[in-house]
Structure formats: structure tokens, C-alpha cells
Amino acid sequence: MAVGWKGWPEMHPVAGVRLGTACAGIREAGRRDLVIIESEPDSACAAVFTRNLFCAAPVTVARDHLIRATPRYLLINTGNANAGTGDQGVKDALACCRRLAELAACPMETVLPFSTGVISEPLAVDRIQAALPDALGSLSHAGWEDAAHGIMTTDTVPKGASTTVQIDGETVTVTGISKGAGMIRPDMATMLAFIATDAAVEQGLLQQCLQAAVDRTFNRITVDGDTSTNDACVLISTGKSPLPPVSEAGDPRYLLLANAVHDVCEQLAQAIVRDGEGASKFITIDVTGGRDEQECLQIAYTIAHSPLVKTAFFASDPNWGRILAAIGRAGVDDLDINALTLHLDGLCLVRNGGRATEYREEAGQAVMDREEITIRVELNQGSAQTRIWTCDLSCDYVRINAEYRT
């Protein structure tokens, strides 16, 4: 079960968006593994994709279609990533798009495909095509929870977030779902995330809004340091709210909407870390006082990716020397270790580069016994800062990934 999971949240429907699911039997019989998200014809759409050079076939197709037309349908399957499948993988993704376009009477370029699951296996095109009528037939404004289940792989819980914001007296909704638990160190977004708002936003500004939110949320999480071949994050703007269109970044209405999008993205990103494969700890890493943000990120990610640090947290062992070792090998030039301060939650471990005189092992143990812990590193070298989220590394992580295809 995900760390600190409070159950499925209240999800506000987004006017102009419907979601449908079906059981295609792609990898497992009887489970929802096919999802369709439909948006109104005049909707705007923004997306970011993985930077992994071995990107999956659906990523290639979705990028191309997004340039050619305004999307009407997102077609998502789980159980098969359609990655490492060469030219045939692209043909298979196109075949699925073509069939959905025929059924929905829309141009093929208005369908964006997304896949997640096992890499390098042929896509079950016949099964997906056969299940498309059922998915279309189940389209509903209230389909968010079923869709969140339908995109899961090793996730233990569905992930959703939703908020409303008052802008010039009108209620604007932002709602989204995501999936991901392993192979998580996004280099754009996350494994898969789909977010929608009923605000009307010019497409270029919508892309800017999504990229800014992704940079501070999905691009600030890591479970195991692996960037997926299939990462994608989509933001749809239907324009069905009475609020007049937003077209300028300096518009106060845009700032309110951007904050709402950021809030939903942050909740979805954190939900992925909380559900990290085998995770028992949710860890926030704050690095402050750097000379620039890159310096702070180097240190934060080195801590987050250290197997020794992660296993210490799994064992609830206050072996904080492992954190110092990670900081010292982060590759930051001219790091003044004598100026450094290190805290776990409010407990000071290190001051001026050495053990804090007031530190006691039993106090460290009390912090490490918690499910949610913040590592705070103060470099005292400048004004830059950053925050990322990660989790521990457990025996279950090894088991889940060792048995993934069995």
C-alpha cells in the first residue's frame, strides 16, 4: 500500500472530457487495461514526452500527430509498452489509432496513442482493436477512477487529483490521473499523466503552463533513477468554463490557473513516489544555500539515488554518515564541507561539517521510525535551493522487478 495513502480523492468532472475503459486482455484477462479519453473538438492540448532516446513507438506517433492536428482522443493501453519494437511497433500504434478514428469518425491524426508495460514485446493489436467499441461505449464524465485503474501496471493504488479555483467569479476545474511506481526518474514528466481543465487557454500558453508545472513536480521525483521509454504527460484545455479565454502569461487569471495545474501535478507526482515499488518511506530532500539550482539538484539526486542511503531508510537506521558520503561525491566543485548543516526533520545531525553536539542516537532513531521524513541540507554557499521527493529501497523492490515478467 502506498505510503500515507488516504484513499481515492473527490474528482471533479471536467466539462468537455469523457473517459472510458475496457478489458482487452492485453496481458491479464479480466482487468481494465484499455482507456480512451475524449475531448471536445475545440479543445487545446499540450504534452511533454520522455527524452529517453529509445522512446516507445506510441511516443513517436503521438509527437507526430500532435504537430499535425488538435487531438480528440487519447488511446492508452497497459500491459505492453510497445517499446523496442522498431518499425513494426510504429505500424501497430498507427493501426490502433486508425481503428479508433474509424469508430469515432475523426481523422487518424486526432488520436494520440500511449502505452505502458513490458518493453520489447509485440503489441496485441487485435485485442486492442476488438475492445475499442466497449471503451467508447463506456465514455463518461465521471470515468476518472476507472481510467486511473486502467492505466496501472505495478501500481498498488490508483492515482488521482482534482481541484477547483475561483477566477473572476467563475469556478474553474483541474483534474488529472497518473500511473507509475518503478522506472521512475522522469526527464520530462512521469510514466503517464493525463490532466484536463475546463478553462480556455491558448495552445502555446497551455504548453508553457504544463512545462512549468512538470519542471517543478514530475521532474522532481525519483524512485530508482531510471527514465522510462514511455513517459508522457498531457494537459487538455476544453474551454467549457464561462471564463473568457486566457492568452497571456502576465494575465492574473493565468497565474491562478497555473497554480491550480501545479497543485494537481504535485499531488500526482508525490503519489507516484508514495507508491514506489516496495516503498515504506516518503522522503523529501531540501537542498538550500547553493550557488545555483543545478548544484542543489546534483546533491539532492545523489542522495536520492544512493542505494546505501535508501536501504538505511528502509531499515529505519539513523546511519546518516551515508548521507554525508553522498553529498561529498555529488561532484560539486569547491564544496565547503565546514559550512554545511544537515537535518532530519527538525533534528540537527551535522553543523559546521561535523556531528552536532546535541545529537543523540535515540533522537535520530525516533525520526527514522517515521513514514515521512525530510532531509534538509544547508550548503551556506549562496541563495539557490531545490526540493525533490524520493522513497526508500526495499526487498520488495528487488522482488517486484525480478518477477516482473513471470
d(C-alpha 69, C-alpha 123), whole Å? 25
Backbone angles phi, psi at 53, to 5 degrees: -65, -25
Give 260-294 pLDDT, tens digit per residue: 999 999 999 999 999 998 899 999 999 999 999 99
Domains of the chain: 17-274 (3.60.70.12), 282-402 (3.10.20.340)
Helices within 349-394 (DSSP H only): 361-368
- Asked if 144 and 34 touch (Cβ cutoff 8 Å), the reply is no
Residues making up the chain, counted from first to last: 406
Position 191 confidence tier, pLDDT thresholds 50, 70, 90? confident
> What does the pLDDT read at residue 229?
85
> What does the pLDDT read at residue 52?
87
Position 71 confidence tier, pLDDT thresholds 50, 70, 90? very high
- Asked if 229 and 52 touch (Cβ cutoff 8 Å), the reply is yes
Q: Is the pLDDT of residue 184 over 90?
A: no
Q: Hey, which residues does 341 pair with through a beta bridge?
A: 378
Position 51 confidence tier, pLDDT thresholds 50, 70, 90? confident
- Verdict on whether the full-model pTM lies above 0.85: yes
- Comparing 181 with 57, the larger pLDDT belongs to 57
Pick from 64-68, 71-75, 220-224: least confident: 220-224
> What does the pLDDT read at residue 225?
86
d(C-alpha 261, C-alpha 326), whole Å? 33
Instruction: Give, in order, the Cα–Cα distances in Å from 305 to each of 203, 226, 259, 389.
Output: 36, 10, 29, 11
Burial class (CB in 10 A: 0-12, 13-18, 19+), 112: buried
Give 346-370 pLDDT, tens digit per residue: 999 999 989 999 999 999 999 999 9
> What does the pLDDT read at residue 402?
87
Q: Is the pLDDT of residue 226 over 90?
A: no
How many CB atoms within 10 Å of residue 168? 11
Tell the residue number behind the cell numbers 539538484, with chain if given.
297
Instruction: Give, in order, the Cα–Cα distances in Å from 22 to each of 82, 207, 244, 275, 338.
Output: 19, 30, 36, 24, 59
H or E stretch at 97: helix 86-104
Q: Which residues are catalytic?
A: 190
Pick from 2-6, 89-93, 98-102, 158-162: least confident: 2-6
Q: Is the pLDDT of residue 34 over 60?
A: yes
Q: Is the pLDDT of residue 1 over 80?
A: no
Give 295-315 pLDDT, tens digit per residue: 999 999 999 999 999 999 999
Instruction: Give, in order, the Cα–Cα distances in Å from 396 to each of 27, 122, 281, 348.
Output: 22, 28, 13, 31
Give the rounded percent of residues in the chain with a pLDDT score beyond 70.
99
In three-state secondary structure terms, 258 is: helix
- Asked if 164 and 173 touch (Cβ cutoff 8 Å), the reply is yes
DSSP strand E in 101-231: where? 111-118, 159-167, 170-179, 192-197
Q: Is the pLDDT of residue 77 over 70?
A: yes
Q: Is the pLDDT of residue 398 over 90?
A: no
252-274 and 203-216 helices, crossing angle to 10°:
40
- Comparing 40 with 190, the larger pLDDT belongs to 40
> What does the pLDDT read at residue 183?
80
> What does the pLDDT read at residue 265?
98
DSSP state of 37: E
| Helix/strand/coil percent split, the chain, to 5 | 35, 25, 40
Look up residue 114 and give its amino acid: F
> What does the pLDDT read at residue 190?
57
d(C-alpha 336, C-alpha 209), whole Å? 37
